Structure 1
Amino acid sequence: MPLVEKLLILATAAQVLLTMGILVWMGMERVPRVARGEIAVADIAVNRDAYPLRARLLSNNFDNQFQLPTLFYVAVLLALWFGGVGWVDVILAWAFVLLRYIHAGVHVTSNQIFQRFAAYCSGLVVLALLWVWLVLRIVLAPSI
């Protein structure tokens, strides 16, 4: 397997790691509170309002990991399926993942809306560029 394909898979793994890390952190914030009886199960059965702020931020960020990153995963799978992965794919993929880490970091700590929005929009632009590059590369590829 070429190095660029391995690096693309590693970028995907880094995004998965972010999602799993947020999930574990969210569990560490939520489960002990429910287990100690600080939060009644009935109070969280329908919404998250009974959780403290940090747990709600983590939950919102976890949900967010299934929005733009879903389009990222599809792009990576298509890139690997059609072949011809190059450094542009790798750089855009890693840039997207880095911006997702920045977005998550802001989201679950200071939650500064303008910083979070800037990271989100930057990631969206990079993801759009990845998709444009991917589609052009596949459509303009010579036929076999």
Structure 2
Amino acid sequence: MIGMAILQPVVALAAWTMVMWFWMYATRIPALMASKVDPDELVRDPNKSLDAVLPAQVQWKAHNYNHLHEAPTVFYAVAIVLAMVGAGDGLNALLGWAYVALRVVHSLVQATVNKVTVRFVIFVLSSLVLVALIVHAAMVVF
């Protein structure tokens, strides 16, 4: 079908989000058990959080999982618009894959070494790719 190639990076990023979900719980559950914290106590006390209880390296995965539900939601919407109007092939599909690659690299940096300046550069690059996709969608629909 014409214009549907951009849906491949959409599915890839959704799948990557689930990889981060598994990684988050694979590290968080053992850390929670080791900390012997009562999770119900955390929700009753506004001064307590998992960030205060669990090691930072464990929480990095959770923070990234949350990040994958922020800016990427705009990517999903724009990619679906581009597919619907038949403009999701060629350069737009390539930009979609670039966006996904940058988000995966961002995840790996945040979940492992968590260098903020490196993450910021990757985030800016992915945002510029997203802006290009938005501009391309705007040129088609307006």
TM tier, smaller: 0.7 to 0.9
Normalising to structure 1: TM-score of the pair?
0.86
Identity rate, percent: 23
In structure 2, give the amino acid aligned to 1:56.
Answer: Q
Normalising to structure 2: TM-score of the pair?
0.87
Deviation (angstroms), 1:108: 0.6
**C-alpha contact 1:72 1:127 (8 A) present in aligned 2:** yes
Quick one: higher RCO (CA 8 Å, sep 6+), 1 or 2?
2
User: Per the alignment, do residues 12 and 111 of structure 1 end up closer, same or farther by CA in structure 2, a change over 3 Å counting?
Assistant: same
In structure 1, give the amino acid aligned to 2:75.
Answer: F
Deviation (angstroms), 1:126: 0.4
What is the distance in 2 between the residues matched to 1:53 and 1:18? 22
Length, aligned pairs only? 137
**C-alpha contact 2:21 2:65 (8 A) present in aligned 1:** yes
1:68-124 per-position Cα deviation (integer Å, ceiling 9, x unaligned): 100000001111222233311101101111100111111111111111000000000
Across the aligned residues of Structure 1 and Structure 2, the Cα RMSD in angstroms comes to 1.7
1:39-96 per-position Cα deviation (integer Å, ceiling 9, x unaligned): 3324543522211112210111011001110000000111122223331110110111
Q: Unmatched 5+ residue regions in structure 1?
A: 140-144
Q: Unmatched 5+ residue regions in structure 2?
A: none
